[in-house]
Homo-oligomer: A and B are copies of this chain.
Amino acid sequence: MSSFKILSSTRVTRQGGVLHRCQHQSNSTACDMMFAIFLPHSYHESSPTTPALYYLSGLTCNDQNFSQKAGAFLHADAAGLALVLPDTSPRGEAVANDDAYDLGQGAGFYINATQEPWKAHFQMESYIQKELPAVINENFPGINPALKSISGHSMGGHGALTLAFKSKISGETDWKSVSAFAPICHPTACPWGKKAFENYFGSVEIGLAHDATELLKQLAEKSLLYDDILIDQGLDDEFLKEQLCLDDFESTAASVGQTVTIRRHEGMDHSYYFIAACVADHIDFHAKKLK
């Protein structure tokens, strides 16, 4: 009955860390989904003790960008942390798409679409919050289902922050910690987010329930704040001012009492060079919370 299969397995650290590329038929997105998982050398099938960091990629990316460009495996191996690397959207000929890079395939925005032609497959929120963790736990029994954290880049930073906040508010899933690289912090106030919410939900207003800066207020009202959130941001990032709106998130966090460690880096851009420069600190941040 399970459609899960491992397509390739590659040793990526000298110590014995392995990268598996996997495929499975998703109920949430009604199509085949690819993901990758890095297992540290300390992982053992017989002992469900390995914590996992889920990393959500940005616009145009798939499950491979982080694997190939972040240079994270040696750090994750040393920290004993598994890395789960999902795709950014449903894909395939039967799946709706758009010629623009910021809508449709490669641009799932980690929400459940309610509008045609998107709603049949663009159910990435359900996929990341529920289905993928279940697939991981079933097929990688050395992962501890209770020890998972979430991070992401750009659109995936929006995904990490909002999925973490929403799961705390609903009480359904427990992401132990959350961090982000150059996240879209306030999507209802930026062109990328407005376009996504208009298309996937039919209005920007509905998107308020999927906006990290807005959700932060609910998190505070319910006394569910994280003890810390780590965010890195390059100051030569071409998207910082118009699309990412970090200042909005920072000021709201300050006003509601959410501690956020925001590090702004001169000379760094929006690319994976920036992620590779900072990823070890995110791994350490999450590994500590998952201990």
Interface residues of A (CB under 8 A from B): 9-14, 16, 18-19, 67-74, 234, 236, 265-269, 271-274, 276-278, 280
State in angstroms the CA–CA spacing of A212 and B183 once bound together. Answer: 49
Q: How far is the CA of A261 from the CA of B290 in the complex (A)?
A: 39
Q: Least Cβ distance of A191 to chain B in Å?
A: 25
**Shortest Cβ-Cβ A-B pairs, 7 listed:** A71-B71, A11-B267, A12-B273, A11-B268, A13-B277, A68-B69, A10-B273
CA of A72 to CA of B68 in the docked complex: distance in angstroms? Answer: 13
Taking the full assembly, how many copies of this chain does it contain?
A: 2
Contacts of A271 in B (CB 8 A): 10
In the complex the two chains form, what is the Cα distance from A74 to B265 in whole Å? 15
Q: What residues on B are CB-neighbors of A276 within 8 Å? A: 12, 71, 73-74
5 A-B pairs, CB-CB below 8 angstroms? A11-B267, A12-B273, A13-B277, A68-B272, A74-B277
Taking CB as reference atom, which chain B residue is nearest A263? B14
List B contacts of A280 (CB < 8 A): 74
Minimum CB–CB distance for A139 against chain B, Å: 19
The answer on a CB contact under 8 Å between A273 and B69 is no
| A68–B67 alpha-carbon span in the complex (Å) | 11
Nearest CB to that of A12 among chain B residues?
Answer: B273
* Chain B proximity of A67: nearest CB distance (Å): 8
The answer to whether B69 and A11 have CB atoms under 8 Å apart is: no
Check B277–A14 contact: CB distance below 8 A. yes
Give the shortest distance, in Å, between A217 (CB) and chain B (any CB).
32
Report the Cα distance A266→B69, complex, angstroms.
22
Q: Contact: A18 with B267, CB < 8 Å? A: yes
- Are the CB atoms of A11 and B265 closer together than 8 Å? yes
A231 shortest CB reach to chain B, Å: 14
Check if B269 sits within 8 Å of A10, measured CB to CB: yes
A10 is contacted by which of B10, B68, B267 (Cβ under 8 Å)? B267
Residues of B within 8 Å of A16, CB to CB, are: 267
Given the known interface contacts A267-B10, A267-B11, the answer about A19 and B74 at a Cβ–Cβ threshold of 8 Å is: no
Closest B residue by C-beta to A77: B277
Shortest A121–chain B CB gap in Å is 30
Q: Is the CB of B277 within 8 A of A12?
A: yes
Cα-based distance from A277 to B18 in the complex (angstroms): 11
Query: Chain B: which residue is nearest A8 at the CB level?
Result: B269
Residue contact A265 to B68, C-beta cutoff 8 Å:
no
- Are B68 and A277 in contact, with the CB atoms below 8 A? no
